[in-house]
Amino acid sequence: MSLRINDEAPNFTAETTQGTLNFHEWIGNGWAILFSHPKDFTPVCTTELGYMAGLKSEFEKRNCKVIGLSVDPVSDHREWLKDIEETQGHAVTYPLIGDPELKVAKLYDMLPATVGDTSKGRTPADNATVRSVFVVGPDKKIKASLTYPMSTGRNFDEVLRLLDACQLTAKHQVATPVNWKQGEDVIIVPAVSDEEAHKRYPEGWKAPKPYIRIVPQPK
């Protein structure tokens, strides 16, 4: 069964470019982004990991750690990191998980069940579903997930926007409308009664319909 929103993010211990780590212990009391890529030394993945490296400080400002994964061994990751820095202009300083036995990839349903037990002999077709993102909260539960095909590089600015929205909802019980960006108006969630909403927003709200209650983004 695939992982769903509010499922606990499966814990694991794995080898990474920064040593052995336990996922839940590594997350600690903050947020985390776990993202996978199909294969080291490939063009789209090189651009993705380099761009994420450039955004790492933005995630850190939001108390969010970043960790990558592919089914390549850690030794390959370390060699590839040189190419990423050279071609993308950013050094990857977040850990990369080596998962040649597919343990984590299968745990997070990143691969077809028929793929086998190791990365040896894998073809590009086997990698087609391995471009996933999981947003994990301090409670170790999955707050959001995205999956892209092998041929499509992800928009990591969107992942950052998604994190902002998830954190805002967790803190203030508000929802974010279509194409919302940091600092824009938000919507009071239906679970908050008008009585409770008046306590939180004494100046009131805009309501084009009774069920649409729009307020400035809480600080």
Give 5-8's long-range contacts (Cβ < 8 A, gap of 24+): 5/142, 5/143, 5/144, 5/145, 6/141, 6/142, 6/143, 7/141, 7/142, 8/140, 8/141, 8/142
Instruction: State the catalytic residue, choosing from 45, 52, 174, 186.
Output: 45
Distance of CA 19 to the CA centre of its chain: 21
**Active-site residue flag, 45:** yes
The alpha carbon torsion through 162, 166, 171, 173 (nearest 10 deg) reads 110
Which residues are catalytic, by number? 45
